[in-house]
Amino acid sequence: MTELLVELESQRAEGIEEALLNCLDTAGFSEEWVKKNWFSFLSDGASVMLGKNSGVATRLTARYPNLFKWHCMNHRLELAVSDVVDEVQAVNHFKSFLEKIHNLYSQSNKNSRELLEAAQEVGSQVLKIGRVLSTQWVASSFRSVKAVWRSYEVLNRHFENAAGDETRNSKERQTYRGLAHRMQSKEFLCDLGLMYDALSELANLSQQLQAHSITLLRADHLLKRTIRVLASFKDTPGEKSKEALAAQALGQFGSVPLHSNAKLTPINAKQFLQSLINNMEKRLSFEEFIPPPCAAPPVDETSPQVVSDQVASTSSAISINSFPSLSIALVQDETVAESTQAQSVVANQALQEWRAIRAQQDQEYNTSLLVDQEKERKKLAYQACEERRQKAIEGRRQRLSACEEPSDGALIKFKYPNGHINGRKFSLSEPIQILFDFVGQVKLPVKSL
């Protein structure tokens, strides 16, 4: 597969179409060949690309009627999630809080170093926290939520330590005190568990939709399966939601004490899940892009061909009725049994394939987390080393500036083998030969310094 990067002189639909066709022509694809072999066009959902009146896809299909246009399903999935954030206000509050945590550690090396120290205190690991429910793929949002879930105790410990740090000003301490209060609320923990379960399924769907072997039928099957799983969460909570509810009843999550926060509005789980399902069905519908099946043409029942077919059908029915009914029942039972067995085999194969894919994805994800963690550790170690080096350079510069060195010359002493020491003050403007003559003189001085 060849990938080309085309520079656009204009970002309007006409300019994009012209640049694309010129690129094909430059690559050696003639107009006749393109009309015969170009069958699909894929893009994001920008109006300039898929606009119904004058978008690039509309202009191309007018020129090439057989062209099949398609809106990227992962991009449509992101739009569905964005719609949910706009509809459910509590989700937007959850997003804002995790954005605050991300900015806290991405913009301050000191906070990142203190977070690692807090992780050592509680004997845990720290995972990189990124942005949530932003313009990135939903899998990135899931990694961030998963990082917060696994680093829950570490984050709470750092917030408490920073809130009591006297070296910080009162505003900073108050900020960390508010973050710790939010982390210790039962409502936030339940919201985090709900988002973990939902984004886990969406991330799995997103990763499978990016596979090179994906087909439209397979994508439709994966989409419907994900919707069924999300719908089941309304009656039966997911794995992390169950853990959060158990911790809520216990009043403690690990080493973090939990309490109720009346000011915090929790996410309505059923409303959130139903909104997610509705927007996924709306955004990822296949009906807009796949034409409906053609209706069968009307049949004239009085035509000779139809009469002949009816006579043949009647004679066939008579010949079938001449056989014993028991043998027909046995054949039908065997056919149904074989069909049921075949469906069961296919379902088991699909389930095993799905489990293998999930296991491989989990392994790759855990490996990437370890790599990211090692990179972050090396980065912080390098920054700490660089800070120590700069401090050492500054300290040496201050010590040198405090020393008073002679400005008019240097006092040099020379010790001879017999123990005599001779000294002389040399001016910096004197030639070096005078120094050599002084050191190499044969006559020993009578008086030593």
Residues 6+ apart with CB under 8 A from 277: 227, 230, 231
Give the angle 272-278-279 at the CA atoms, nearest 5°. Answer: 90
> Residue 25: helix, strand or coil by DSSP?
helix
pLDDT for 210 equals: 82
Q: By C-alpha distance, which of 281, 265, 274 is closest to 91?
A: 265
What one-character DSSP code corresponds to residue 402?
H
Give the angle 337-339-340 at the CA atoms, nearest 5°. Answer: 65
Q: Which long-range contacts (CB under 8 A, 24 or more apart) does 377-380 make?
A: 377/116, 380/109, 380/112, 380/113, 380/116
Q: For 165-215, what is each residue's pLDDT tens digit?
A: 888 888 888 888 888 898 889 999 999 999 899 988 888 888 888 888 888
Q: For 34-47, what is each residue's pLDDT tens digit?
A: 888 787 777 777 77
If you write DSSP's letter for every residue of 218-234 in order, what string do you get?
HHHHHHHHHHHHHHHTT
Q: For 69-83, what is each residue's pLDDT tens digit?
A: 777 888 888 888 888
In contact, 388 and 382? CB cutoff 8 Å: no
Q: H or E element: which one contains 414?
A: strand 410-415
293: pLDDT confidence band, cut at 50, 70 and 90?
very low
What one-character DSSP code corresponds to residue 298?
P
Distance CA 24, CA 4 (A): 10
Is 80 exceeded by the pLDDT of residue 92? yes
310: pLDDT confidence band, cut at 50, 70 and 90?
very low
Please state, for a pLDDT cut of 70, what percent of the chain lies above it.
Answer: 71
Please state, for a pLDDT cut of 90, what percent of the chain lies above it.
Answer: 4
Residues constituting the chain: 449
Q: For 151-170, what is each residue's pLDDT tens digit?
A: 888 888 888 888 888 888 88
pLDDT for 329 equals: 43
Residues 6+ apart with CB under 8 A from 227: 277, 280, 281
Q: For 379-430, what is each residue's pLDDT tens digit?
A: 888 888 888 888 888 887 777 766 655 456 666 776 767 777 777 776 666 6
Q: For 128-150, what is each residue's pLDDT tens digit?
A: 565 555 555 566 778 888 888 88
In contact, 114 and 161? CB cutoff 8 Å: yes
265: pLDDT confidence band, cut at 50, 70 and 90?
confident
Roughly what angle, to the nearest 10 degrees, separates helices 138-150 and 73-87? 60
Q: What is the mean pLDDT of the chain?
A: 75
Give the angle 174-178-182 at the CA atoms, nearest 5°. Answer: 170
Which residue in this structure is represented by tokens 């009906």? 287
What is the C-alpha end-to-end distance of the chain, expressed in Å? 87
Say whether pTM exceeds 0.95. no
Distance CA 35, CA 66 (A): 8
Q: For 330-359, what is each residue's pLDDT tens digit?
A: 444 555 566 667 667 766 776 677 677 767
Which residue in this structure is represented by tokens 């090439």? 64
Is 50 exceeded by the pLDDT of residue 236? yes
What would the mean pLDDT of 56-66 be, rounded to a whole number? 82
pLDDT for 25 equals: 81
Which ranges of 107-215 would DSSP assign to H, the alpha helix?
Answer: 109-122, 138-150, 152-163, 170-183, 186-209
Tell how strand 410-415 and strand 421-426 pair up. Answer: antiparallel
Distance CA 5, CA 407 (A): 65
What would the mean pLDDT of 44-62 be, rounded to a whole number? 80
pLDDT for 317 equals: 41
245: pLDDT confidence band, cut at 50, 70 and 90?
very high
